[in-house]
């Protein structure tokens, strides 16, 4: 009965059974086929002079420079026409192997960020849907539903975009070329440095000497509207310059890269403010650009820190429990048995 449900789940169960059947009967061939298409696509992008001028697919050396890798095997560079050459050797000897069906297409040379390239080029002009983008790349995912026609269509799209970029560059004035170079530098070189974690505010630390913080209590404390306020990025920078304290009430997660730069109870630092001000992304979870950062009020922080200090004082005043060494010190009994006897038996 623990596996039954009144919900209409037969469609889900049927689809799972069909997927299991497909994997069992033709799974190996399907996976090999999609690997082959992904490797061919990588090869064509790299070998096409026009496409490779504006686009390239990131590989292992972009994650770990060759100088720091003991293995020289690349499962992608040596593949010709999709053949699985050196594929097994890469799995056996390399430090890691990238999934060939996940292609990170670097678009920095175009001067467009990943969001604009996805929305204005791929989706609006060519009807290609992708989900993952970054400031200078988009993620292409090859699945068993991909066909050779879709692979050729994607290659044709990249070639047409490259042709348009080439024509625009040839017809551009000196000022336009300088502007394009500046856009390229902004998304490839002048990237804001990721800020380090600052620290938790004293109100959410067990004691002044500890670096640990109670993120849970800070998270739920942030739901009290009377205890929080919103501060614009510019005003936050000025407050920090004046020596005031700002403490985040929630997670602040720019996407991309998709990990928090602020967590509940964390002190807002100048480096974090600078990073958020320089970050050119459309989506930052936990941050409303019209309102600003959600931070605790000074009164709320003072009250919570006083409560923490009171708890710490009471805890320090309580005597630690010790088992008496002398049997005569234990006069109590539980159900007729000596307490000391019970302690000795447990030991």
- Which residue in 129, 104, 102 sits closest to 38, CA to CA? 102
Residues 6+ apart with CB under 8 A from 274: 192, 195, 237
Q: Judge if pTM exceeds 0.75.
A: no
Give the tens place of pLDDT for each residue, 183-210: 999 889 888 888 999 999 999 998 888 8
Q: What is the pLDDT of residue 5?
A: 60
Rg from Cα positions in the chain? 30
In angstroms, what CA-CA distances link 9 with 5, 16, 18, 172, 210? 8, 11, 14, 59, 50
- Which residue in 283, 266, 230 sits closest to 118, CA to CA? 283
Domains of the chain: 16-188 (3.90.1150.10), 202-300 (3.90.100.10)
Q: What is the pLDDT of residue 343?
A: 39
Contact in structure between 259 and 172 (CB atoms under 8 Å): no
Q: What is the pLDDT of residue 321?
A: 44
Q: Which two tokens stand for residue 177?
A: 């070329």
Helix (H) / strand (E) containing 21: helix 10-47
| SS3 call for 250 | coil
Give the tens place of pLDDT for each residue, 130-152: 888 888 999 999 999 999 999 99
pLDDT lower than 50: segments of the chain: 1, 81-83, 320-324, 327-347
Residues 6+ apart with CB under 8 A from 77: 46, 59
Alpha helix ranges (H) inside 69-143: 87-93, 114-116, 124-126
């Amino acid at each position: 009965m623990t596996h039954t449900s009144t919900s209409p789940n037969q469609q889900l169960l049927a689809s799972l059974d069909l997927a299991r059947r497909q994997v069992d009967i033709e799974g190996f061939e399907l996976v090999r086929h999609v690997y082959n298409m992904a490797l061919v696509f990588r090869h064509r992008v790299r070998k096409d002079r026009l496409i490779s001028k504006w686009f390239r697919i990131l590989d292992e050396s972009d994650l770990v420079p060759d100088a720091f890798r003991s293995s020289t095997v690349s499962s992608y560079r040596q593949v010709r026409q999709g053949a699985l050459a050196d594929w097994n050797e890469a799995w056996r000897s390399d430090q890691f192997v990238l999934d060939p069906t996940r292609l990170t297409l670097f678009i920095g040379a175009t001067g467009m960020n990943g969001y604009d390239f996805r929305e204005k080029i791929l989706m609006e002009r060519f009807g290609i849907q992708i989900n993952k983008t970054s400031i200078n790349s988009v993620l292409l995912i090859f699945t068993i539903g991909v066909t050779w026609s879709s692979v050729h269509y994607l290659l044709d799209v990249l070639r047409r975009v490259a042709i348009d970029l080439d024509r625009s560059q040839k017809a551009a004035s000196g000022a336009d070329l300088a502007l394009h170079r500046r856009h390229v530098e902004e998304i490839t070189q002048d990237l804001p440095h990721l800020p380090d974690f600052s620290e938790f505010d004293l109100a959410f630390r067990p004691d002044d000497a500890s670096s640990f913080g109670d993120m849970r209590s800070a998270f739920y404390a942030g739901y009290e509207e009377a205890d929080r306020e919103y501060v614009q990025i510019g005003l936050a920078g000025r407050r920090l310059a004046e020596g005031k304290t700002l403490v985040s009430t929630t997670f602040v997660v720019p996407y991309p890269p998709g990990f928090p730069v602020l967590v509940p109870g964390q002190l807002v630092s100048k480096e974090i403010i600078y990073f958020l001000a320089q970050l050119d992304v459309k989506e930052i979870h936990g941050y409303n650009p019209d309102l600003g950062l959600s931070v605790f009020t000074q009164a709320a922080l003072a009250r919570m820190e006083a409560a923490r200090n009171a708890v710490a004082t009471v805890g320090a005043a309580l005597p630690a429990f010790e088992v008496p060494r002398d049997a005569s010190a234990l006069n109590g009994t539980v159900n007729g048995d000596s307490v000391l006897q019970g302690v000795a038996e447990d030991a």
